[in-house]
Structure 1
Amino acid sequence: MSTTTPAPAPSPTDRPRTGGDLVVESLAALGARTVFGLPGQHALGVFDALRRSALRYVGLRVENNAGFAADAYARATHGVAPLLVSTGPGALMTLPALQEAAAASAAVLAIGSQVPLAGIGGGRHGYLHELTDQSAAFRDVVKSVHTVRTASQIPSAVAAAWESALSAPHGPVWLEIPQDVLLAPVDVPPVGALAVAPRVPAPRRELIRAAAGRLTGARRPVILAGGGVVRAGAEAELLALAERLRAPVVTTFGGKGAFPWEHPLSLGSWLEDRHTTDFLEDADTLLVVGSGLGELSSNYHTFRPRGRVVQIEADLGKLESNHAALGIHADARQALAALVEETAGAGAGADAVGPPAPGAAGSPEAEVAGVLARVRDRLAAQDLGLEQRVLAAVREALPEEAVSCWDMTILAYWAWSAFDPRRTNALHSAQGAGGLGYGFPAALGVAVSDPGRPVLAVSGDGGAMYSIAELATARQYGLPVTWLIVDDGGYGILREYMTDAFGEATGTELSRPDFVALAESFGVPAVRTDPERLGTDLAAALAAPGPSVVVLPARLRMFAPTHLPA
């Protein structure tokens, strides 16, 4: 009688490669090193494949927060941030974050699972998480939607989505893959190189010549620089052109850091101040680069240019969308470089003798100093010393190399106008779409991109509750993020809006936890501070390794709005 020895059960490492492996291999072939996300039932095939890859996975506790982290990672790296989520509820939870990424031109590649192929179309099989048309929910939010029906389509679909995300203007894209396709074994070689060619619109030469003629012939040229300058990495070209033209520069909230804050030609970012709006309106030629002149950049659409406008914009839909202009559909860096070249040797200003010398009365530098002095005088008349001291303490405590991420809170509204980031791409906020909860998860994404430098997140107590669960993420990965929570007992900016409009506020007052005790329950060091100790406490937290929380009980006020002409 013979006996046979049972074959050993295959180990997990002996399992055949699957569609999930094709996803992670494709991402790696395109240059991805880190992916964000949160697993779910239909997406397990791709998460299992992560275990067999060299990609770093950073998992957050809520899909929307994972999207915010990916958004900030993409901004910080000027690259693509993959985001992996599951079907239905998990997928839909990313929509607010993807809307912010779209508004800020952040290249997030969101990859979601789908129900098995047989159930696509909705209602026939009753799968968990099933939607009639899941991708339809994303079409009005992202740049492009991509779908996969077979494993062989995965590498090409991932490459196409990656290319779309990086084509100018950068933005989020959505790719969905059915559960059974992710789990199905594949008998093909591992994905090697994948070629992509992101489209970057080049400026037309005749438009550059016309724009250069208008700028060099202007007596009062002014530049408004938006987020497109930062996303294109065009800071050096902007500085060269401004200095050649001796043109004052205003940066939008999204363009903060695009131009040196202390430069004699810098008007900062006081876009909600009528003095700045008047100055922009008085330009005989205004160069708008990397901005669509939307609500915030136009002082709530009260801006009315009296001179000629030249607009450089990579997003064709934003070109001349708010004001008539000599529109140049182009990448900001390429267009500014071409303008620098075209204006070489040209006289600045229509006057043969040029503008007055720097510092002289009537010079561009003197006009800039005058506008900034009027802004300071207006603030000084409003008894806003507390707010200015708090913002100054934050700036003093923040190391030169640090990055800050701001939620939709009163202190962030101050920062949009008054905060000097001291370098480019060092301040990120949710002012594009304006959703709550951005600051802390965004800071985690920045910290993942460069763990060697500290990151500051700023939230109000209302916004903090959107992402409090991510204290566990910060602790799990030991990320060097300090979270400043300004606790004023409610939705402070909405309280102000409603009180100003209706005499009293409704629905803005909040019960909230003891944020210090709550942070410590996650194993995150925390301290309660006051305006006098804020700078010292923040500096100590930022210097310590790993995550930390600083809570500032304070009721801050906004400066008075100056949207309408006096």
Structure 2
Amino acid sequence: MHDHDHDTPPFTPEQTAAALNPPPGRTGGDLVVETLYGLGATTVFGLPGQHALGMFDALRRSPLDYVGLRVENNAGFAADAYGRITGEVAPLLLSTGPGALTALAALQESAAASAPVLAVSSQVPAAGLGGGRHGYLHELRDQQASFRDIVKSVHPVRAASQIPSAIAAAWESALTAPHGPVWVEIPQDVLLAETSLPPVTAMDATPRELPPRPELTAVAAHALSHAERPVIVAGGGVVRSDAAGKLRALAEKLDAPVVTTFGGKGAFPWKHPLSLQSWLEDRHTTDFLEAADVLLVVGSGLGELSSNYHTFRPRGRVIQIEADLGKLESNHPALGIHADARNALSALLDSVEERHDPDAAASVRTVLAKVRERIAAQDLALERRVLASVREALPAASPSFWDMTILAYWAWSAWPGPMHSGQGAGGLGYGFPAALGAAAADRTKPVLAVSGDGGAMYSIAELATARQYDLPVTWLIVDDGGYGILRAYMTDAFGESSAAEATELSRPDFVALAESFGVPAVRTTPEGLRDDLAKALAAPGPSVVVLPAVLKMFAPTHLDA
């Protein structure tokens, strides 16, 4: 029995003639870029290297837009953001050995945050493969082994005819829930060798659906319909599967309060009467979640940050919807439903009975009032003012990308809408190159990047990229003279004297440095931040705003229990 839905339509005579007479001068590199384009790619990120030149030469003959960054890890962060913003696969072209390995931290972030990045790396010539020591530049005994622990899937290529299918398989893997980074590896000689294979036409690599099992949906719907105090935790899986509308409909049908995780910002309207917002590091929120008799966790593994540093102890029944099989019940016993968030929420929406709880919105207001009182009782006027100024300056439709810096730690809890940060894996240097990737996806609106001075030094080179491609990114650098969050951690743990050696930093004049790249920059104050930032965001092209300030975190509320 044939599945005619997936049959390829017959070629026209013109198409057949083109296939029989491929243009001269094409190589394995052309097969790479033709396949990416045939699958629907429009933009690729990367950085060339000796073994990868076949791919980069082929870009000249391709309609693909290329955005080249100055450090491979930053190119990976840019691709990560492109994937998060668009929901589409972000191709990342890399070289061999050091060039490939330098992207590992970015790929770890993409894996932790489920961003669909398709890395295509070169490899030494095929004669040098097999684990020996052939003396090729960049040679590794087993390059794939360095990536296998991080990416979703590895796709080695050893002949030109394998290229289209390997990339299509990788593409499907990257977009199958949970999204994630994938790795294709092609030897230098395969990329450089001329090919008589016909040009690659449109290809289909439709990701596999991941529906919930109906018997599990029935059990979950029954529990939620008859719960006395149902509460929903919405994670990044809701955002990635574009299921915010279904989540809202389900919450309203059940009258269930919703907390969004730091990775799930934007999954639920911040000001909704049922919105508990994102104060996951506050004991009042943790207590409320623990008191739920049925807790629906959608698209979150309830990891360290989402569980208030593993102090969360649910007393009711947990129902966990998660596309990543390894995260099902990884932290708490639950009714585990292995499914894409959108499919599962849709099924629940059809199955639950409407329930009315006149006290739900009032209980939400009570919790949020307690959180506000707790923050207000601490000496944090500067921090609250700075975050409010950033929020007021950023246009509503503009995305923001945050490094692992104190202001981002605030934003995880207090920022009212979608935001993107490097908190999946927690590496430094994410904010600015990620913002460049988002700007490459949509140049019509400004993008904000936020870094501390320590994290900013990881990506200074990308000021050249921002200028070269004239990308509309404004970079806010909060300069506190060191690794501020590590300074706080070390001081708390070991006392003042031990922190200075490792966390206090000599640093450049960021304004002068940005201007040396041809990027306009301004030094601001907490009082002038909103206006200076708004002005920079309104100006075309890249810009830098430097805020000298030492910010503090709110007290660790998980210790109050």
- Asked if 1:550 corresponds to 2:545, the answer is yes
Q: Distance in 1 between matches of 2:197 and 2:239?
A: 41
* Shift in Å, 1:435: 0.2
Letter in 2 for 1:383: D
Give the match's secondary structure for 1:111.
strand
Corresponding residue for 1:226? 235
Letter in 2 for 1:268: Q
Corresponding residue for 1:562? 557
Give the match's secondary structure for 2:275.
coil
Q: Distance in 1 between matches of 2:357 and 2:98?
A: 60
Instruction: Tell me the alpha carbon deviations over residues 419-474 of structure 1, each in whole angstroms, 9 at most, x when there is no partner.
Output: 012xxxx4110000000000000000000000001100000000000000000000
Say which is worse superposed, 186-195 or 279-288, in terms of deviation. Answer: 186-195
Contact 1:121/1:131 (CA < 8 Å) preserved in 2? no
Contact 2:133/2:141 (CA < 8 Å) preserved in 1? no
Structural mapping, 1:302-317, within 5 Å: 302-317=311-326
Residue from 527, 533, 554 that aligns with 2:522: 527
- Asked if 1:468 corresponds to 2:470, the answer is no
Instruction: Tell me the alpha carbon deviations over residues 355-382 of structure 1, each in whole angstroms, 9 at most, x when there is no partner.
Output: 33xxxxxx11111111111111111111
Give the match's secondary structure for 1:250.
strand
Letter in 2 for 1:136: A
- Asked if 1:336 corresponds to 2:336, the answer is no
Contact 1:123/1:130 (CA < 8 Å) preserved in 2? no
Corresponding residue for 2:254? 245
| Stretches of 4+ aligned residues off by more than 4 angstroms | none
Change (3 A) 1:194 1:370: same
* Shift in Å, 1:15: 5.3
* Shift in Å, 1:562: 1.4
Corresponding residue for 1:396? 392
* Shift in Å, 1:14: 8.0
Q: Distance in 1 between matches of 2:182 and 2:467?
A: 30
- Asked if 1:411 corresponds to 2:420, the answer is no
Letter in 2 for 1:544: A
Corresponding residue for 1:8? none
Letter in 1 for 2:548: P
Contact 2:253/2:354 (CA < 8 Å) preserved in 1? no
Q: Distance in 2 between matches of 1:201 and 1:404?
A: 30
Instruction: Tell me the alpha carbon deviations over residues 84-109 of structure 1, each in whole angstroms, 9 at most, x when there is no partner.
Output: 01000000001000000000000000
Corresponding residue for 2:9? none
Letter in 2 for 1:409: T
- Asked if 1:432 corresponds to 2:424, the answer is yes
Q: Distance in 1 between matches of 2:339 and 2:115?
A: 18
Structural mapping, 1:443-458, within 5 Å: 443-458=435-450
Give the match's secondary structure for 1:564.
helix
Q: Distance in 1 between matches of 2:468 and 2:321?
A: 43
Give the match's secondary structure for 2:143.
coil
Corresponding residue for 1:189? 198
Contact 2:387/2:407 (CA < 8 Å) preserved in 1? yes
- Asked if 1:297 corresponds to 2:306, the answer is yes
* Shift in Å, 1:120: 1.0
Letter in 2 for 1:179: Q
Q: Distance in 1 between matches of 2:531 and 2:409?
A: 23
* Shift in Å, 1:122: 4.0
Give the match's secondary structure for 2:91.
strand
Residue from 412, 416, 432 that aligns with 1:420: 416
User: Percent identical across equivalent pairs?
Assistant: 77
Corresponding residue for 1:43? 52
Corresponding residue for 1:498? 490
Q: Distance in 2 between matches of 1:177 and 1:347?
A: 55
* Shift in Å, 1:565: 4.7
Give the match's secondary structure for 1:443.
helix
- Asked if 1:16 corresponds to 2:25, the answer is yes
Q: Distance in 2 between matches of 1:565 and 1:413?
A: 19
Where structure 1 has 5 or more consecutive residues not aligned to the other structure, the ranges are: 1-12, 349-353, 357-362
TM-score for both structures, normalised by structure 2: 0.95
Corresponding residue for 1:158? 167
Corresponding residue for 1:511? 506
Q: Distance in 1 between matches of 2:252 and 2:533?
A: 36
Instruction: Tell me the alpha carbon deviations over residues 270-309 of structure 1, each in whole angstroms, 9 at most, x when there is no partner.
Output: 0111110000000000000000011100001110000001
Letter in 2 for 1:507: A
Instruction: Tell me the alpha carbon deviations over residues 475-510 of structure 1, each in whole angstroms, 9 at most, x when there is no partner.
Output: 000000000000000000000001011112140000
Letter in 1 for 2:299: G
Contact 1:100/1:435 (CA < 8 Å) preserved in 2? yes
Q: Distance in 2 between matches of 1:313 and 1:124?
A: 43
Corresponding residue for 2:3? none
Q: Distance in 2 between matches of 1:565 and 1:107?
A: 39
Letter in 1 for 2:475: W
Give the match's secondary structure for 2:557.
coil
Corresponding residue for 1:540? 535
Q: Distance in 2 between matches of 1:565 and 1:318?
A: 28
- Asked if 1:375 corresponds to 2:371, the answer is yes
Residue from 360, 365, 382 that aligns with 1:364: 360
Q: Which has the higher helix share?
A: 2
Instruction: Tell me the alpha carbon deviations over residues 239-262 of structure 1, each in whole angstroms, 9 at most, x when there is no partner.
Output: 000011110000000000000000
Corresponding residue for 2:451? 459
Residue from 259, 269, 272 that aligns with 2:278: 269
The two structures, once aligned, show a CA RMSD in angstroms of: 1.0
Contact 2:295/2:316 (CA < 8 Å) preserved in 1? yes
* Shift in Å, 1:201: 1.0
Q: Distance in 1 between matches of 2:80 and 2:378?
A: 36
- Asked if 1:489 corresponds to 2:481, the answer is yes
TM-score for both structures, normalised by structure 1: 0.94
Q: Distance in 1 between matches of 2:149 and 2:265?
A: 28
Corresponding residue for 1:260? 269
Q: Distance in 2 between matches of 1:102 and 1:564?
A: 30
Q: Distance in 2 between matches of 1:416 and 1:14?
A: 52
* Shift in Å, 1:209: 1.1
- Asked if 1:54 corresponds to 2:63, the answer is yes
Q: Distance in 2 between matches of 1:355 and 1:477?
A: 53
* Shift in Å, 1:216: 1.0
Q: Distance in 2 between matches of 1:517 and 1:36?
A: 28
Give the match's secondary structure for 1:213.
helix
Contact 1:122/1:130 (CA < 8 Å) preserved in 2? no
Letter in 2 for 1:406: W
